[in-house]
Structure 1
Amino acid sequence: MSSTAERPQSLAERIYARLKDDIFEFRLMPGDRFSEGEVAARMAASRTPVRQALHRLQRDGYLDVHFRSGWQVRALDFAQFDELYELRIVLELEAVRRICQRPTDEQPTALQALARTWLVQEQQRLQDGAVVAQLDEAFHCQLLEAAGNQEMARVHREVSEKIRILRRLDFTQAPRIDLTYAEHGQILQAILTRRSEEAQQLLKSHIEVSQAQVHSITLHRLYGARQRVEPTKP
């Protein structure tokens, strides 16, 4: 369906998703500026759905708008990221505690799927950082799904999306990929055998290492990540 035939709301949704993906994939960097007109031209759309998408991204915390100078990708707020990581730890440790309260013969489907992904031989491990980053996010989200509290899972998904850009940067380094496989495997083994305290400690340490990596992210690394994708301007 062409953009001229699309309903304004669905067109705004598509523009929103496209721009958010540009931010997550480093085609748009923190500090980058652009105008509504530039986005409209690239998307072959009128300004109304573009404006709707941009204001939604602003509400979600991805963009700022400046009088006369247009739109700007919001700078990384590391204090906010620390708070989100703290919330993530609380949610995931509680999820593991709830899972481990169940009998060992009751293995949620989500856990079985995770075991097939992460409990594999070294030669079967994926090495594509972008793919492993998506699997890593799914691993932690599925732990919340397995815990059975849908509201906890919903909040966790929102937190995961807000820190996604940093987690993807973490997987631009090959050693982090191998370490993630090893640590996820250890966490899963402890959960599957209902070693609750051990599983929670392993999980907490795993997340804290990832959180520490966040503080090593520099503009140099951000721009290095952008060089690995096709540069795109609005």
Structure 2
Amino acid sequence: MKRNDGERDNLFDNIYLSLRQDILWLRLKPGTILTEAYLADKFQSSKTPVREALMRLSFDGLVNVFPRRGYCVSEISFADIKDMHEYRWVLESTCLAKAMECATEEQIEKLDSLSYTDRLFYRDEEPRFSRTPQEEPRDSEFHIYLAEIAGNKIIHAQLIDVLEKLQRPMLCVAEENYMSRGVEEHHILAGMIRDKKADEARELLRGHINEVYEHCLRISTIAKLF
């Protein structure tokens, strides 16, 4: 039966989102080979929406394209990790400064309530390949809401994108001790925003963001994890 445009769009979206989730949650490991024929069979679709989804993932930097050979889940690059952490700091330091100026008590209370929700953990699961992507709990809700308080929609969207792309290396190095310390720092940071302690808050946020990066640097090569 011929699909209408809406059905084709939905199928493309579902394939794209499902594969993106599997890559970001490391169910599809860096270096995994993907082919249009295999994925079309898994998703019970033609190759066209699969090809479109893979090209979109290539644009996202999550898939590499090898003409006439197929596709491969991209490796995690240390250069990219460094660049993304630097960009994250630019975005979040701006959000922190804005939040210091405009955050209401109600917003600060909500921010504080999100202090203990960011618990990253490694998910060693089989690829889902669902035609209807399942909702994953979003990590870094505290940081995303801080950007929402700042009120700049472009920065908010850019921060979500950066945090999603950092999810793979963050999952690689997540350890219970420093993750627990990290969420406690969220609570302290919320209190500093309430008390308008701008310099202390900026210093804490800088160290908070740098810690994951420093953990990544202590790994000789992330590729050895897979």
Asked if Structure 1 and Structure 2 have the same fold, meaning a TM-score greater than 0.5 normalized by the shorter chain, the answer is: yes
What is aligned with 2:127? none
What is aligned with 1:231? none
Q: How many residues align?
A: 210
1:138, distance to aligned residue in structure 2 (A): 1.2
2:205 pairs with 192, 197, 203, which one?
A: 203
Distance (Å, rounded) in 1 between the aligned partners of 2:121 and 2:62: 23
What is aligned with 2:46? 46
For the 8 Å contact 1:190–1:198, the answer to whether it is kept is yes
Amino acid at match of 2:45: A
Distance (Å, rounded) in 2 between the aligned partners of 1:87 and 1:128: 21
Change (3 A) 1:170 1:108: farther
Distance (Å, rounded) in 2 between the aligned partners of 1:157 and 1:71: 26
Tell me the percent identity. Answer: 27
For the 8 Å contact 2:122–2:172, the answer to whether it is kept is no
What is aligned with 1:181? 183
Matched, 1:10 2:21: no
For the 8 Å contact 2:118–2:139, the answer to whether it is kept is no
Deviations 1:95-153 (A, max 9, x none): 11122124x8x3253x322212327xxxxx8977369x956511111111111111211
Distance (Å, rounded) in 2 between the aligned partners of 1:94 and 1:67: 41
What is aligned with 2:114? 117
Unaligned runs of 5+ in 2: 124-135
Matched, 1:32 2:17: no
Distance (Å, rounded) in 2 between the aligned partners of 1:197 and 1:135: 29
Matched, 1:83 2:83: yes
Counting only pairs closer than 5 Å after superposition, residues 147-226 of structure 1 correspond to structure 2 as: 147-171=150-174, 173-217=175-219, 218-221=222-225, 223=226
What is aligned with 2:69? 69
For the 8 Å contact 1:108–1:146, the answer to whether it is kept is no
SS of structure 2 residue aligned to 1:75? coil
Unaligned runs of 5+ in 1: 120-124, 224-234
Counting only pairs closer than 5 Å after superposition, residues 85-104 of structure 1 correspond to structure 2 as: 85-102=85-102
Change (3 A) 1:127 1:100: closer
Q: Structure 2 length as normaliser, TM-score?
A: 0.83
CA RMSD of aligned residues (A): 2.6
For the 8 Å contact 2:89–2:206, the answer to whether it is kept is yes
Amino acid at match of 1:196: A
For the 8 Å contact 1:129–1:177, the answer to whether it is kept is no
1:177, distance to aligned residue in structure 2 (A): 2.4
